[in-house]
Chains A and B, each alone.
Chain A
Amino acid sequence: MYLTPSMAKLVHEFNKLPGIGPKTAQRLAFHILKISATEARVLASAIIEVKDRITNCPICYNITEDSPCSICKDTTRDHGLICVVEQPSDIIAMEKTRVYKGDYHVLQGAISPLDGIRPDNLRINELLMRIQQEKVKEIIIATDSDVEGEATALYLERLLRTMVARVSRIAHGIPIGSNIEYTDEVTLSKALESRRIL
């Protein structure tokens, strides 16, 4: 397959993105070739802009363009409640619920010795500082349920239980609107384990 040097470079760059294989990279590159120069510039500047503008909130470490972020600034939210998540994208999912009205804390990862990620590499010290400075009533640990997420949850639980009145872990169970018969065995047994008395 023959590509001009500039096309080859673009394909190569797309190929580096997560979830983009060589074929998709090539398709995207040809799409860019088709769009107008203005559109291409808008796209390019959008990429530059996020890199220039976005920083971490100095309180919760979510991505933000203001300092502190809109959630930390919001006086209507319950600042005594902190939900600890691994990634900024987890906040987006939580916010879509519109149920949660507390604050967040983004760890920016999970403990993973195999990847060289230790508690010190996460925003755990920053979380401890927050707990000392603010009046925190409850910490909700909402890390993933893979082994790294569970290890992080366990580490935080043991670290925080003497410092905060309540440390809780989000529940795992059957997705709403799905049939029990189609739920995988592992999820179903977890749901049985954490059943509640009516």
Chain B
Amino acid sequence: MYLSSLQIRNFRNIKETQLQFNTGVNIILGQNGQGKTNLLEAIYFLGIARSFRTSCDSALISRDMDGFFLSGIVVQQHIQDKIDVLLEDTKKVRINNKFLPRIIDLIGHFQVIIFFPEDLHLVKGTPDIRRRFLDILLSQSNPQYLHYLQRYNKIHKHCNEMLWQLKTGQQVITMSELDVWDIQRQETGNQLIRARKEAIEVLNDLAAGIHHQIATSPTLMEDGGSSEILKISYKPSMFNKEKRVDEIRKGHTLNGPHLDDMVFQINEIDARRFSSQGQQRTASISLRLAELEYLYQQTKELPVLLLDDICSELDDVRREYLMKAINRGGQIFITTTSLDTIKELMDGARVFTVRNGLIYS
């Protein structure tokens, strides 16, 4: 799968551009603050219909403009699809000139994976970051997952509304009314739990292998490094009927997949709290590479990789490993301030230079 061309209008500091891409490596070169990441963000938006930097879509519109427009040609097994995403009063998505009834139906048409410095928070950050990672991955690989996720979120809102009314005593609500929503929440939630459990088992196997390879590279071992074993496990928030009393007291639900987490351990120690930043970064890269392999296994297509300023944060060993691991013949977009840091990718690559929102090829 690759993006063959992209038209951008009024997106961040990119006013108007039309670009043709390489099916392999595309290097986005430029000084800081010129708009390199904005280009990656536009590509990401074409796949997920949201940004990896902000949840506020209107922040993506160029200053003093009313909306933005993105249009890309995605090629998959010699079949071309034209995907348009536009934000005016509302967000709209068109595939081959037909509007999708729901934005969310876009997901899965153009698979993207982002590697960016904030990935460190996959290990270090709060559970919602890890849940979002899982949700995006599973939605891209399995359309049914997205259906259950949306259903679950809706049911969950209804549940919280009832619990809140019970807490505040605004209305008399019988337990049988609450039961109806709880039963549905469990049925739908269990579908999510099952999918997440299966995915994390696969991700764990993949990531552990990758992490081990990075951590045991000869250079790192000479520097006094030791063998590291990464383990990623699922920590589901199981449904528990006995929590009902507490839930009514608090006025919201206290368990279910919206509270799940993923646990990272390095040599059996909680990596979120006790590992060094270097170890956490290796673990987060291992997870992203595992994501790439997982999507490939599930869909038999290499997703498009977006790498934002990833080299600046890595030492040579990790950088070299990453460059080798991502270069599998799929399409890559990588931003950098200097070609020196990505010389492994230069062979046959196309370079785009970004200066003040203008992109030159």
Interface residues of A (CB under 8 A from B): 111-114, 118-119, 147-148, 150-151, 154-155, 158-159, 184-186, 189
Contact = CB atoms under 8 A, between A and B. Distances in A.
A118 B158 CA distance: 11
A159 B180 CA distance: 11
Given A147-B155, A147-B158, A118 B180 contact: no
A155 B182 CA distance: 11
B143 A158 contact: no
A89 B184 CA distance: 26
Interface stretch (B41-49, B125-133, B170-178): B170-178
Contacts of A150: 184
A82 B180 CA distance: 22
B243 interface: no
Given A147-B154, A150-B184, A185-B143, A118 B161 contact: no
B158 A154 contact: no
Contact of B165 (A113, A119, A155, A159): A113
A134 B233 CA distance: 57
A8 B42 CA distance: 41
Contact of B161 (A114, A151, A158, A186): A114
25 contacts: A111-B177, A111-B180, A113-B162, A113-B165, A113-B181, A114-B157, A114-B158, A114-B161, A118-B177, A147-B155, A147-B184, A148-B158, A151-B155, A151-B158, A151-B181, A151-B184, A154-B183, A155-B177, A158-B176, A158-B179, A184-B143, A185-B143, A185-B147, A186-B144, A189-B144
Nearest to B174: A119
A114 B157 CA distance: 7
5 A-B pairs with least C-beta separation = A113-B161, A155-B180, A113-B158, A154-B180, A186-B147
Interface of A is mostly: helix
Contact of B171 (A111, A118, A155, A159): A118
Contacts, number: 46
A116 B183 CA distance: 20
A66 B255 CA distance: 51
A155 B184 CA distance: 11
B324 interface: no
B235 interface: no
Interface in B135-181: 143-144, 147, 151, 154-155, 157-159, 161-162, 165, 171, 173, 176-177, 179-181
Contacts of A186: 143-144, 147
Contacts of A184: 143
Contacts of B159: 113
Contacts of B144: 185-186, 189
A151 B157 CA distance: 13
A80 to B, nearest CB: 26
Contacts of B183: 154
Contacts of A154: 180, 183-184
Contacts of B181: 113, 151
Nearest to B147: A186
Given A155-B180, A186-B144, A118 B155 contact: no
Interface in B174-201: 176-177, 179-181, 183-184
B177 A119 contact: yes
A93 B180 CA distance: 27
A68 to B, nearest CB: 30
A159 B151 CA distance: 24
A114 B154 CA distance: 9
A151 B180 contact: yes
Contacts of A159: 176
B27 to A, nearest CB: 37
A111 B184 CA distance: 13
A147, A150, A189, most chain B CB atoms within 10 A: A147
Nearest to A157: B180
A112 B154 CA distance: 10
B30 to A, nearest CB: 42
Contacts of B161: 113-114
Contacts of A189: 144
Contacts of A155: 176-177, 180
A89 to B, nearest CB: 20
